[in-house]
Amino acid sequence: IGVGLVGFGLFFILFGMLLYFDSVLLAFGNILFLSGLVFIIGFRRTFTFFFQRPKLKGTSFFLGGVLIVLMRWPLLGMLLEAYGFINLFR
């Protein structure tokens, strides 16, 4: 279930970007991606991954970008998400 949710999330994010940053598709993709991540590695491990002290900057930008996309500012939200994603996984 988790791998399917992550796959559909990435598909909707890519499709939303191809359709000139459609905010509904990007928001749906973000929600599916994060819920799929929780299904794959579990709630506790997801929480501890995102909220480690050295990763708080990346987490804040990533989750802030998700929130900005949900508030219908897709371009700014995706830029913040990308910066947060890079900081999380460097």
Instruction: Write out the DSSP string of 29-81.
Output: HHHHHHHHHHHHH-HHHHHHHHT-GGGHHHHHHHHHHHHHHHTT-HHHHHHHH
Residues 62 and 42 grouped into a single domain: no
Can you give the pLDDT at residue 87?
A: 95
Residues 39 and 63 grouped into a single domain: no
> What is this structure's pTM?
0.90
Can you give the pLDDT at residue 57?
A: 96
**Could you give the number of structural domains in the chain?**
2
Residues 3 and 34 grouped into a single domain: yes
Closest CA to 87 of 61, 63, 69, 64: 61
Residues 83 and 61 grouped into a single domain: yes
Give the pLDDT of the chain (90 residues) as one tens digit per residue.
Answer: 999 999 999 999 999 999 999 999 999 999 999 999 999 999 999 999 999 999 999 999 999 999 999 999 999 999 999 999 999 988
Can you give the pLDDT at residue 90?
A: 87
- State the residue range of the domain holding 57: 52-89
Can you give the pLDDT at residue 62?
A: 96
Would you give the distance in Å from CA 20 to the centre of its chain? 18
Would you give the distance in Å from CA 88 to the centre of its chain? 11
